[in-house]
Structure 1
């Protein structure tokens, strides 16, 4: 047996022991036993208590040694000091799986962290699939298991949920019971000492009882494992995750809560995008997405039809649609003709389809049947304003009837409060996504269409970048041999050349005379830059002169630059000056770079350069490696893309050249793990070409 093969014992055990079972109501050891009984567990449930003969009518055993060998699942609710000895005893009894509810481990640091490391050692050495510690427990409705101290059981459904926060688990369960939402599995991961989110995704991917997976995370424990498993799962079923720690304050709170070390939020966004995970930004979105994905078919296109009994809400829905990645569908001429035949003469058959404020339920029904059959319509949005003549409940029933016979997703927005409540209940019970607000419904439809595109996309094709790794490795090795943690421009030029990256004509010169001669050869005007392995920010020491138009100007600038750099940085070794060709006129200034995220690897960045990057933060991100399509998407995502595509009669810049730079940088990041950060700043681009005008590479210590 392996640890992974023992995970099913968590959800479908035949024999369960509660270590630390109690006969006192209110204690966790009592709640777990009571919840198992209330769930209707069909197997053998054994309370372990050294002083009681029975608990809740069940005979107890006094010690773990008295448990049967090969026990499926043990739930540990002992004081923290007793958990490791209990796990050692369970290992001797060849237990397959365990849930450690007890807190006081990694999340408190110090001795607690040491105890958790010991738990991990025991479980890994004995293939025990452990959830926790510091968790609420888990529920498996199909297995009639409620090995938790939650208040009540979960309803049966097709949503599987895992959470790093036990408190959030209780809130989600309470919400779900109020909304009549059911679950197949419900897992509180706690500190994720052994079983983490990637293991949970893997175990749920082929679970026939689960159609949608939702999760709350404070961090990803094993980035490479997650990046491997998540896309395999999301190709089969949607995975919706909300992640906290997106701000500095949130990251600090997450660390103190479960010992998580929150990573860069941009890296998480990029990781979710690359693996097909749908990210929810808040709890309301998580609930909305979970219901929509679990009850509706995926839209097979972006076309959204709006059926409304009021012009204003219809216009608002069209506006919200246009701001998303969806489209207001153009109905077919045949559809328009059929609508005209059943609607009043003054109704609008152009999308939004306004069927007028006096519309009875039957008018909604006929309209929906016609519109849902239109091949240009992929999503149906039904709006209702509670006019005096509106038949709210009957309209809800009409929506339900048509939706049941359609392979397209339906979303319903009944506006108002008191009058629409019974209609709301009917729609919710029928599994039709409902909201009194438009925006959440559009967001759900957009997320579902995005997931459809993910599941139907061709496998990623990574370009083969022509490169001379040996030449680049030699430069990096020479820098590391001197103890350098940065490769600055005059050294990094060779690395860029090895990857075919476009650089300006450059010459390293050691005297004013050499600089003047090099400038004459390159052609005026030129740029002069200080060359020193210790000076990465050249402008800080006045180490850059631009627009030098003659040999005399270059020679004078060389003397001035080197003297000033030596005066301001006496610790720096001055190698001389770089002479570079000036960038052509009309260039846009960009920044392209990467930072190596500790969990997910190289995170590529693209955006406007210069002062704009600090002020506007108009940047897009992707995790390496990137395909050409991903590089193209990075460029198109920044808000100022129109400046690159050509604004007010300007020629568009060479977007292909920018793609080439992103792809080459991505490959460099993958080839050299010792490069932890890279800045190509600025990258200058015009309609003809792009040039990496300056570069800095940071190395690991």
Structure 2
């Protein structure tokens, strides 16, 4: 058998010249009989070799006893056997020089220790033989453009599957079928659909990146259950952006459950889905919450480009049904997208064109205006006005009964200066298909429409790093407040100065402390990250006698609440001047997406309010300012109800400084300032408490030292 070596990964994946189906069944009712049936029904022109050592024929075709009996080395082998035989088949493929194998079987990494051991043997067999794997637990790979339906998914039994330019990759095999059937109903076709399964070898990111050179693929739709292999996704994000091919994502996990809690509040705020959200946004992906929006959004993404800020985007709505438009306005508002009213000049231009409308948030042509020339004129005027980033037409009853009126006119505006999209209030699938094929993104429900529009307007160029530091969290050590503060000071964040006193010297030195009263007295221990919870903080201490009493109270409280904790001493700090607002600025290295920086309302109620925002680290000043604008409680920084304005620029600088731990201190696993007090405008910020956790690397500096800073 001879093999040509000029084939790419994408060629073997989507355009194989020959395929073999190992374990093909002669029973048409079985899952393992589907791939052969689908390939034949779709008219796949390549060679197909059913492999079944127990039969001479399969579904009326010659069956081959083994792969090495074939007359050629197939480009792609689909293995339908159980797990152990699948490993043996991959080993045989490596020996023969088969470049691509897809595995249906489960029973690998998802099944505990035994499955992990089995997956390790599978990976070793592939690696040794130079075989690339899709799966395990893959329902297959399809390319509707060539009839290459190498899949066991029953949904592909349908006839008349439309072709398109959207490539779908999913970590769930059943979702592939769901998207296919929903797309067919909507008249939306696909350039390829791949069930990536367990990603033992080819990850969803690497697989998609390999297909970017395919001219028949214009955009991507990803269904994600997790963010394993996120570095590959990050690499794909940059490559897809460079290729001008947008990516829509549906990611499971929109719950309030956090990731495994860590020692800081930041760990609780940085829940698994919040991290996913920050990561996907930094990838420049458009994350949607409706499954239907996943297949309806790509045409809009391709038309809009990367806008970057949904809150400042300008959406103009034109309609022949005021009630339907109001529904869409409402759905957009709940997603942070504001509708912009047309200017008086635009309204006058419509009047001059014979389609006068009353001043309003929406351009309501009313039912009487559902006429071809009027609709076309009104849409064109809005597109040419320069006042909108997107014109959205909400079509009334004519979408179903008289599409030659408004619908045809909208379709003729597909290439206007400003992108136009449409939502049909009645159930009008023929109208949606007509608009789609004319180049107008069209939506069946107001929820999916608003979801896709919000996701598209929020999409920006990727900023995620392709790789990131991965300090070893196991065995990481927590620094006490003095050492934590010193590390943050080195990053450029001001901290409150203080003096450390040993427990056995409090009475002797309390009267000669180099501080100005009143002071705060705090328990000092790396093993007591949340001092307030254990009674380890006493504020507003007025004199030396108060310091002695405060230390006695702290020692007793810590003994009661955390008896096993030994204190390094106490930290005495001058009481800082009250600021405009207290914030939390945190940093952690997520095991799934890398370094993140978190901003939240500060203090002991941080986790209760859950008013926070997150970005991948590091960030620049512009991104830090955007974060400040997203935390509702920080609105008072701008002089709420006549109050003083806070030093927003200093807070942004502190966020940037902490985020740069990703670059400057890759050994830091976690860091937090809570509270970070924001003073009045021009007076800066100051960290009143600090917590840092670093990867273990030798002895830490002595805790019995002073902490310099400004208060």
Shift of 1:421: 6.2
Q: In the alignment, is residue 352 of structure 1 matched against residue 352 of structure 2?
A: no
Q: In the alignment, is residue 123 of structure 1 matched against residue 133 of structure 2?
A: no
In the alignment, which residue of structure 2 is the partner of 1:649? 642
CA distance in 1, matches of 2:611, 2:6: 45
From 48, 54, 57, the equivalent of 1:45 is: 48
CA distance in 2, matches of 1:107, 1:135: 13
What TM-score comes out, normalization by structure 2 length? 0.85
From 471, 485, 488, the equivalent of 1:496 is: 488
Alignment map for 1:611-630 (pairs within 5 Å): 611-630=604-623
In the alignment, which residue of structure 2 is the partner of 1:267? 275
In the alignment, which residue of structure 2 is the partner of 1:382? 393
CA distance in 2, matches of 1:369, 1:625: 43
Alignment map for 1:88-167 (pairs within 5 Å): 88-151=91-154, 152=156, 154-167=161-174
> Contact between 2:399 and 2:406, CA under 8 Å: does it hold in 1?
no
From 62, 78, 82, the equivalent of 1:79 is: 82
Instruction: Give CA deviations for 1:34-69 in whole Å, capped at 9, x if unaligned.
Output: 212222222221111223333345433211221356
Shift of 1:564: 5.3
Tell me the matched-pair count. Answer: 664
> Contact between 1:219 and 1:263, CA under 8 Å: does it hold in 2?
no
> Contact between 2:376 and 2:409, CA under 8 Å: does it hold in 1?
yes
In the alignment, which residue of structure 2 is the partner of 1:508? 500
CA distance in 1, matches of 2:537, 2:668: 25
Could you say if the C-alpha distance between residues 486 and 247 of structure 1 is closer, same or farther in structure 2, counting changes exceeding 3 Å? same
Instruction: Give CA deviations for 1:423-468 in whole Å, capped at 9, x if unaligned.
Output: 45543554534446544323323333333x437xxx799xxxxxxx
> Contact between 1:533 and 1:572, CA under 8 Å: does it hold in 2?
no
Q: In the alignment, is residue 177 of structure 1 matched against residue 181 of structure 2?
A: no
Alignment map for 1:12-411 (pairs within 5 Å): 12-68=15-71, 70-151=73-154, 152=156, 154-235=161-242, 236-247=244-255, 264-293=272-301, 296-298=303-305, 302-314=313-325, 317-318=328-329, 326-329=337-340, 331=342, 335-343=346-354, 347-348=357-358, 352-362=362-372, 363-386=374-397, 391-403=402-414, 405-411=415-421
CA distance in 2, matches of 1:148, 1:91: 22
Secondary structure of the 1:528 match is: strand
In the alignment, which residue of structure 2 is the partner of 1:257? none
CA distance in 2, matches of 1:537, 1:315: 49
CA distance in 1, matches of 2:292, 2:656: 37
Shift of 1:684: 1.5
CA distance in 2, matches of 1:443, 1:372: 22
- Unaligned stretches of 5+ in structure 1? 253-261, 462-475
Q: In the alignment, is residue 599 of structure 1 matched against residue 607 of structure 2?
A: no
Could you say if the C-alpha distance between residues 524 and 329 of structure 1 is closer, same or farther in structure 2, counting changes exceeding 3 Å? same
Instruction: Give CA deviations for 1:352-381 in whole Å, capped at 9, x if unaligned.
Output: 222233224232233223332222233222
CA distance in 1, matches of 2:399, 2:238: 50
CA distance in 2, matches of 1:660, 1:3: 52
In the alignment, which residue of structure 2 is the partner of 1:486? 478
**Which deviates further from its counterpart, 408-417 or 427-436?**
427-436
Shift of 1:242: 1.2
In the alignment, which residue of structure 2 is the partner of 1:535? 528
Instruction: Give CA deviations for 1:243-277 in whole Å, capped at 9, x if unaligned.
Output: 2244488999xxxxxxxxx9822111111111111
Could you say if the C-alpha distance between residues 287 and 35 of structure 1 is closer, same or farther in structure 2, counting changes exceeding 3 Å? same
CA distance in 2, matches of 1:249, 1:549: 43
Could you say if the C-alpha distance between residues 413 and 228 of structure 1 is closer, same or farther in structure 2, counting changes exceeding 3 Å? closer
Secondary structure of the 2:97 match is: coil
From 419, 427, 441, the equivalent of 2:435 is: 427
In the alignment, which residue of structure 1 is the partner of 2:574? 581
In the alignment, which residue of structure 2 is the partner of 1:466? none
In the alignment, which residue of structure 1 is the partner of 2:674? 681
Instruction: Give CA deviations for 1:121-164 in whole Å, capped at 9, x if unaligned.
Output: 11122221111111110101234311112232642110000111
> Contact between 2:256 and 2:271, CA under 8 Å: does it hold in 1?
no
Runs of 4+ in 1 over 6 A off after TM superposition: 1-4, 248-252, 387-390
Could you say if the C-alpha distance between residues 394 and 150 of structure 1 is closer, same or farther in structure 2, counting changes exceeding 3 Å? same
From 675, 688, 691, the equivalent of 1:696 is: 691
Shift of 1:584: 0.5
What TM-score comes out, normalization by structure 1 length? 0.86
CA distance in 2, matches of 1:249, 1:539: 25
Secondary structure of the 1:107 match is: coil
CA distance in 2, matches of 1:81, 1:542: 58
Q: In the alignment, is residue 554 of structure 1 matched against residue 547 of structure 2?
A: yes
CA distance in 1, matches of 2:304, 2:556: 71
**Which deviates further from its counterpart, 688-697 or 430-439?**
430-439
Secondary structure of the 2:675 match is: strand
Instruction: Give CA deviations for 1:613-669 in whole Å, capped at 9, x if unaligned.
Output: 122100111122222222222221112231222210112211122222222222224
> Contact between 2:621 and 2:652, CA under 8 Å: does it hold in 1?
yes
CA distance in 1, matches of 2:675, 2:48: 67
Secondary structure of the 2:178 match is: helix
Could you say if the C-alpha distance between residues 387 and 43 of structure 1 is closer, same or farther in structure 2, counting changes exceeding 3 Å? closer
Could you say if the C-alpha distance between residues 454 and 518 of structure 1 is closer, same or farther in structure 2, counting changes exceeding 3 Å? farther
> Contact between 1:358 and 1:387, CA under 8 Å: does it hold in 2?
no
Could you say if the C-alpha distance between residues 436 and 51 of structure 1 is closer, same or farther in structure 2, counting changes exceeding 3 Å? closer
CA distance in 1, matches of 2:361, 2:553: 69
> Contact between 1:596 and 1:677, CA under 8 Å: does it hold in 2?
yes
CA distance in 2, matches of 1:447, 1:484: 38
Secondary structure of the 1:142 match is: coil
Q: What's the C-alpha RMSD, in Å, of the aligned pairs?
A: 3.4
CA distance in 2, matches of 1:39, 1:568: 70
